[in-house]
Amino acid sequence: MNFDFSSYPLRNRGYSTRPMTILDPEPKAVLGAVMEVALIETGNRSGREHWQRTQLQNLIKHAVARSAFWRSRLGGGKPSDIELASLPILTRQDLRKQVASEGSLLQTSDGLATKVHATSGSSGIPVSFHVSQFNAQYNEIRSLAQHFLQGQDLSLNRTRVSQAYASRKGGLVVARDPCWIGTLASVIKSGTNKRVQYLALSDKAACLKLVEELKKDEIGYLVCNPRLIDTLLCWIDLGFLKDARTAMWCPLGESIDRHLIDAFADLAIPIRANYSSEEVGLIAAECDKLSGYYHVATSNVMVEVVDRTHDVDGVKLGTVLVTHLHSYATPFIRYDLGDLACLRDECPCGHDGPTIHNLQGRASRVLKHQDGRLSPFYVRSKDLAALADFAEFRIRQTAFDKIVIEIGGRSELRADEIAAISAYLKERAGGEFGIEVRACSQIDWGQSRKRPGFRCEI
């Protein structure tokens, strides 16, 4: 690592005014924590792996001491003698059982505040668990550290666009903060942090309203899910992103279809995705040199890929297991995320650390065939919009031979619209699927905060 800060927009008055002090305590602590992350994730492999083994032993010792659930799973051996691969896989059902029966494994006397957190519900019913104050602090530091690790410009704005799920009248809610790097902003100049929430993008007028808001400021780092971009593509030329000085798209929550990758390549706007989950935070960050390769956040998790029997377009993928090294409130040891991927010891770019590739995301985001095959299934909003008007849609595979699509914002559909939608989906999925098209005034998303366009329910 090159310790050269000449390219960073340092403030003239960013240094401490106290005697024998360079930085004040708060920014010094943040910068020190960022450097710790870099030290682990880019440093010597043997040193990193030794640190991980030690942290795993600490976590196991804590879980055994505080939890009957974990004592029954981990046995009576010494933590130093336990091999990670020998431990049972933790499922969502197991997680619910532990949380319901024991609550948080951190106590008031430990001096770490805890709170209840939950998954988004995109893979079914949301799962609740406990997180500590340290987890939130680490997530903030690790997010900031990524910009240092990849040499990204901190002076650019950050623009986060998301859907508002609370019941309220339509429109946009816009909030701005003077910076997005927290306490470190007293030393380093950063761009503004803009947050835009929309209720629905059901027509061109709603999309244009959002675009006009985004064009009011330089976008910089655009943070949003791929479905938003796909929806805008139905009505808007994405060239406005270039005009609004978008430096990078940081997609969240879903895999990115080829047509979106191509669209951003045409605009010369790089895409840099992260692989994360509500349960453990950041799992891996996309390589800045090779698209589709994700460097594991080894300061946070250990990753395994097991059971590589899942055939997706001819590639054998395995189930992703994560062990969250800082999960003392609710331990996550060999936790099954329900994702499919491959894992290698290093990245082709030269990064000497575990690297995830061929990441397909949730197994619930691929079609399951009767013969055991899995296939990616992505439907573009723009394609559906050409067949029928709608406010939103949801597609579900409910059986090996059945796909149901709900067209939101419509009380009924014409026969020609139903026929066109059915033919389109059959062409995308395969002739073995029967297609059921349902009109509904409003889609019932249940408790999920995410609204995936497709979900496999078998």
Any domain includes 172: no
Any domain includes 422: yes
Residue 410 · residue 389 · CB < 8 Å: yes
- Residue partners of 409: CB distance under 8 A and separation at least 6: 202, 389, 390, 391, 392, 441, 442
In 399-453, which ranges are continuous DSSP H helix? 415-429
pLDDT of 273 reads: 92
Backbone angles phi, psi at 232, to 5 degrees: -60, -35
Walk along the chain (458 residues) in steps of 10 and give the mean pLDDT of each run: 81 92 95 95 95 96 95 83 91 95 95 88 74 95 94 95 68 92 94 92 86 96 91 90 97 82 94 93 94 96 93 86 97 94 96 93 71 76 85 89 92 92 89 91 72 79
Domain count, the chain: 1
Whole-number Å distance between alpha carbons of 67 and 37: 29
Domain that holds residue 400: 379-456
Any domain includes 122: no
Write the single-letter amino acid at 65.
A
Residue 312 · residue 370 · CB < 8 Å: no
3-state DSSP call for residue 232? Answer: helix
Whole-number Å distance between alpha carbons of 93 and 4: 48
Any domain includes 405: yes
Measured in whole angstroms, the distance separating CA 32 from the mean position of its chain's CA atoms is 25
pLDDT of 386 reads: 85
pLDDT of 252 reads: 85
pLDDT of 448 reads: 56
Any domain includes 443: yes
**Helix 45-66 and helix 25-42, axial crossing angle in degrees, nearest 10:** 110
Closest CA to 376 of 457, 257, 266: 257
Any domain includes 147: no
